[in-house]
């Protein structure tokens, strides 16, 4: 007999976790879903964000969320550099598929090993006043550690959704994936639009990284666990649909939370892969795909 309290707690924790997963996946949703750039290094950029938050907190006593926000322009610039390299090396020559993947895999590996050299294999965490607190609604306990990342994740999701559907550049980003030729006829340079969109996707990694280190301790290779998660979410969410990404993130969060509550946390990483395989085998267009 499953205890109702346990079940309720697991579901609420899963929904909160889902909000955070959305923040991590948004970048991939833009780069992979909209631009067709398979940036498997995205989780590594998220970890880079976590370590930035860690270092700023350690040496200047900055709040991790403030760091995450302050560093978005720097990550945006980093994203521009990466896209320029990618464009020069692969996209311009039309060789993006195989070699582009290897390029991003190399980036992932370089970031991971560089962080390993700088910080070692130990888990790092941040002590902020609000991290350890929690409150109760009925039998359900809500930890600030999970609530805050969820709220910030939701805000980023809404902001990105508004940007993509209301502004000129946002609409251009959506258009570039569908018909870049038509975009060119409208007097817009598709390469510039792609560069902006890709840089934006990396910029979200700064905030997502700050959220990640709020949720729990971080070490350099933890990004690999997120590769399966983010791609499962993006594919399940229908590739590039922002609201679909959020819904898929919440689904994955709840399933993972239930799994760790009832069969042990060590099984949680397997959930996303199971979902990914089932979606790819049964409905590759995702739940909300066109």
- Binding pattern to another protein, positions 50-89, x when CB under 8 A? -----------------------------------x--xx
Q: Does 287 bind another protein (CB under 8 A)?
A: no
Q: What minimum distance in Å lies between the beta carbon of 138 and another protein?
A: 33
Q: What minimum distance in Å lies between the beta carbon of 28 and another protein?
A: 10
**What residues from 173 to 232 belong to the interface with another protein (CB under 8 A)?**
221, 224-225, 227-228, 231-232
For another protein, the binding residue among 131, 273, 287, 288 (CB under 8 A) is 273
Residue pair 147/131 in contact by the 8 Å Cβ criterion: no
- Binding pattern to another protein, positions 98-137, x when CB under 8 A? xx-xxx-xxx-xx-xxx-xx--------------------
Report the distance separating Cα 228 and Cα 233, nearest Å: 9
101-119 vs 72-86: helix axis angle to the nearest 10? 140
Q: Does 269 bind another protein (CB under 8 A)?
A: yes
Q: Does 97 bind another protein (CB under 8 A)?
A: yes
Q: What minimum distance in Å lies between the beta carbon of 129 and another protein?
A: 34
The site that binds another protein (CB under 8 A) totals a number of residues, namely 44
- Binding pattern to another protein, positions 131-170, x when CB under 8 A? ----------------------------------------
Q: Does 38 bind another protein (CB under 8 A)?
A: yes
Report the distance separating Cα 281 and Cα 214, nearest Å: 35
Nearer residue to another protein within complex by CB, 73 or 274? 274
**Residues that bind another protein in the complex, under the rule CB under 8 A:** 38, 40, 85, 88-90, 95, 97-99, 101-103, 105-107, 109-110, 112-114, 116-117, 221, 224-225, 227-228, 231-232, 235, 264, 266-267, 269-270, 272-274, 276-277, 280-281, 284
């Amino acid at each position: 007999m499953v205890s109702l309290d346990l079940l309720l707690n697991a579901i609420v924790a899963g929904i909160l976790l889902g909000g955070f997963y959305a923040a991590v996946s948004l970048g991939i949703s833009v780069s992979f879903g909209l631009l067709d750039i398979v940036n498997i290094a995205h989780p590594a950029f998220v970890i880079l964000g976590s370590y930035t938050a860690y270092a700023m907190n350690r040496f200047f006593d900055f709040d991790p969320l403030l760091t995450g926000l302050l560093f978005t322009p720097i990550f945006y610039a980093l994203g521009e550099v990466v896209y320029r390299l990618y464009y020069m090396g692969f996209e311009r020559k039309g060789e993006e598929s195989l070699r582009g993947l290897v390029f991003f895999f190399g980036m992932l590996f370089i970031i991971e090993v560089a962080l390993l050299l700088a910080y070692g294999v130990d888990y790092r965490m941040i002590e902020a006043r609000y991290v350890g607190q929690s409150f109760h609604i009925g039998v359900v306990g809500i930890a600030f550690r999970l609530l805050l990342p969820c709220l910030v994740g939701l805000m980023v999701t809404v902001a990105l959704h508004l940007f993509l559907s209301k502004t000129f550049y946002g609409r251009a980003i959506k258009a570039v994936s569908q018909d870049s030729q038509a975009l060119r006829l409208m007097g817009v340079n598709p390469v510039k639009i792609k560069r902006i969109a890709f840089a934006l996707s990396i910029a979200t990694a700064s905030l997502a990284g700050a959220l990640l280190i709020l949720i729990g301790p971080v070490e350099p290779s933890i990004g690999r666990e997120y590769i399966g998660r983010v791609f499962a979410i993006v594919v399940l969410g229908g590739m590039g649909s922002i609201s679909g990404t959020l819904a898929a993130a919440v689904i994955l969060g709840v399933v993972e939370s239930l799994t760790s509550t009832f069969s042990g946390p060590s099984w949680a990483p397997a959930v996303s892969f199971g979902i990914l395989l089932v979606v790819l085998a049964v409905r590759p267009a995702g739940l909300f795909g066109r």
